[in-house]
Amino acid sequence: MKREAVFVSEEELNRQRAFAEAVRENPDRPESYYVVTYGCQMNAHDSEKITGMLEDMGMKPAEKREDADFVIFNTCCIRENAERKALGNVTWLKEVKKTRPKMIIAVCGCMVQEPGMAQRIFRKYGFINLAFGTANLHKLPEYLHRVLETGLNVVQVENQDVIAEEIPVRRLRYDFAYLTIMYGCDNFCSYCIVPYVRGRERSREPEAILREARELKESGVREIMLLGQNVNSYGKGIPGGFGFPELLKELDGLGIPRIRFMTSHPKDLSDRLIDVMAGSAHILPQFHLPVQSGSNAILEKMNRHYTREQYLERVRRLREAIPGIGLSTDLIVGFPGETEAQFEETMDLVREVGFDSAFTFIYSPRVGTKAAEMPDPVPEAISSVRIQKLIALQEERQQEALQRFIGTEEEILVEGLSKRSSRAVSGRGTHGISVTVDGTEADIGEILKCRITGLKNNTLTGERADQ
C-alpha cells in the first residue's frame, strides 16, 4: 500500500522532466557545473542527485568551481562553523562572478531551510541566483528554467515532508553506493537543528529500497551504505510491523557483499536488530552509536531518552553478540550547564568503552532549538580545554582498541591509492577502520583479504593474504 500523501506524485515528477528537457534545449543554458558539498552523508548523496539532474539537463562537470557556468553549494547548518564556512565560500565566488557575469550561483541544502535564511539570502546576497531547501530538491529543473527564462533570482523554500522517488542520480563511485531508507528526524534532541531543516521522519517503501538495492547489485556495487538520520526507527507508517531489522534481513538476502548503515539512536537499538546483524552474512560488524554525553543529567537535558547505564548495556550486548564489532560515536562538550564533573563522566565513558573512533564537537547553539534557550552557557575557553582533553583521551584509547586487529584477517574494499605511497592502496575493513596494504590502481573497487600487521596514526597496515 502506498502512502500517497508523503510521495511526490508521478505528475509532478513528469513536470520536472519537462522542465529538464526545456533547460537542455535552451541555447543559453549553462554548459558546465560544479557542486560543492558540505556536511554529512545525506548531503553527499543529495549532491549525487543534484549532479544527476544537472547531467540530465545536458551539463558537463567543470574542473574548478571558478570555471563553471553553474556552481551550486549544498550546505550544512549543524554547527555555526559549518554555516560560516559555506557563506564565506559563496561570498568568495561573488568576486569571480564580477569577471564572468553569466555565471549562475546556487545555494541549497540544510542552511537554506533554516527559518529566516531564505529571506536573508534574498535581501542580503543578491548575487545568489537560486536558493532552495532540502524539501524541494527535486524541483531544481523548474527553478533553473525560471532563472534562465526571467533572469530574476529564485529563492524557494517549502515545508512539505515529502519523498521524491526516481530523481536521476550520478553516483561518485561505481563500487560503493549510498542508499537512503528514511528522511527527516522526529527525535528533537534539544541541541539539534536537523528536525527543523530535514522535516518529520518518513520511511521509503521497502519495495522501492529493495528495487534500488537490486539495481545497485546488478551494476556491480560491492558495498552499500543505508542512510537515515535515525535508521533504527525505520518503518514508521509502514504496515505489518516491517522495521529496520526486517529490512536488513531482506537486504542481506540479496547477496550484495557488504552492507553498512548510519546513523543509529541508542534508544531504538533493539535486541532484534542485534540478533539480525549477528546472524547475517553481509551486514558488516560495525556500529556508529552516538552517545553525545556520559552524564545522565546532560543526557536528559539533551532529550536523548537513555541513560549512561542503558548505553553501556547496549554496547555490552553488541559486543557479546558480535565479538570484535567496530564501534564509533559522536560526543558533544560544553552543552549548556555542563559542569566539570559532568564532563568527567563523558571522559569516564570514553575510557570505559574504548571506541574505535569518535567525532568530537563543541556545542554550538542553533536558533530555534530548545538548548539555545537554556541558561548557563559554557565559556568557549572552557569548552576548548575540554575538547582537547577528550580528543587526547580518545586517541589513546583508540590506539589501544585497534590493537585487537593485529594478527587478524580483514577484508577491505579498496578506495584509492594510499596518500603516503604510490605502491600502496587503502580501503575500509569490515569493521569500518582504514587499512593500508601493497597494491596498485588496478585494485581500486576490489575486495582484498589482508593480514593486519601494524598500526600507524589510527590506520591499520597489512599484508595481502589473497596472493
Question: What is the binding site for ligand SF4 (CB under 6 A)?
Answer: 185, 187-189, 192, 194-195, 229-230, 265
Least distance in Å: CB of 302 to ligand SF4? 8
Q: Which does 366 bind (CB under 5 to 8 A by kind): ligand 5AD, ligand SF4, none?
A: ligand 5AD
Name which of 109 and 290 has its Cβ closer to ligand 5AD.
290
Least distance in Å: CB of 232 to ligand 5AD? 14
Helix/strand/coil for 435 = strand
Q: Which does 428 bind (CB under 5 to 8 A by kind): ligand SF4, ligand 5AD, none?
A: none
| Site residues (CB under 6 A) for ligand 5AD, limited to 6-65 | none
What CA dihedral angle connects 361, 362, 367 and 370, to 10 degrees? 90
CA 141-145-148 angle, 5° bins: 140
Residue 292 found at the interface with ligand 5AD (CB under 6 A): yes
- Bridge partners, 26 (sequence order): none
Name which of 154 and 289 has its Cβ closer to ligand SF4.
289
Least distance in Å: CB of 434 to ligand 5AD? 20
Residue 366 found at the interface with ligand 5AD (CB under 6 A): yes
Q: Which does 78 bind (CB under 5 to 8 A by kind): ligand 5AD, ligand SF4, none?
A: ligand 5AD
Residue 192 found at the interface with ligand 5AD (CB under 6 A): yes
Among the listed residues 19, 33, 73, 191, the single contact to ligand 5AD using CB under 6 A: 191
Among the listed residues 34, 363, 378, 427, the single contact to ligand 5AD using CB under 6 A: 363
Backbone torsion region of residue 281, taken as left when φ is above 0, otherwise alpha when ψ lies between -120 and 50, otherwise beta: alpha
Least distance in Å: CB of 79 to ligand 5AD? 5
Give the number of other CB atoms < 10 A from CB of residue 8: 18
CA atoms within 13 A on the CB side of 210: 14
In whole angstroms, give the CA distance from residue 436 to residue 132.
41
Helix pair angle (380-402, 340-353), 10° resolution: 10
Per DSSP, the chain holds a count of helices (H) and strands (E) of 14, 19
Least distance in Å: CB of 399 to ligand 5AD? 23
Question: For the chain, how long is the longest CA-to-CA vector?
Answer: 65
Least distance in Å: CB of 97 to ligand 5AD? 32
Fill in the per-residue mask, 308 to 347: x = in contact with ligand 5AD (CB under 6 A), - = not in contact: ----------------------x-x---------------
Residue 364 found at the interface with ligand 5AD (CB under 6 A): yes
In the complex, residue closest to ligand 5AD by CB: 330
The CA-to-CA distance between both ends of the chain, in Å, stands at: 50
- What is the CA 43 to chain-centroid distance, rounded? 6
Residue 78 found at the interface with ligand 5AD (CB under 6 A): yes
The DSSP call for residue 298 is: H
Choose the binding region for ligand 5AD from 54-62, 349-357, 359-367, 425-433 (rule: CB under 6 A). Answer: 359-367
Residue 290 found at the interface with ligand 5AD (CB under 6 A): yes
What CA dihedral angle connects 258, 263, 265 and 268, to 10 degrees? -40
DSSP track, 392-429: HHHHHHHHHHHGGGTTSEEEEEEEEE-SS-TTEEEEEE
CA distances from 392 to 21, 55, 294 (A): 54, 45, 17
Residues engaged in binding ligand 5AD (CB under 6 A): 78-79, 191-192, 290, 292, 330, 332, 361, 363-364, 366
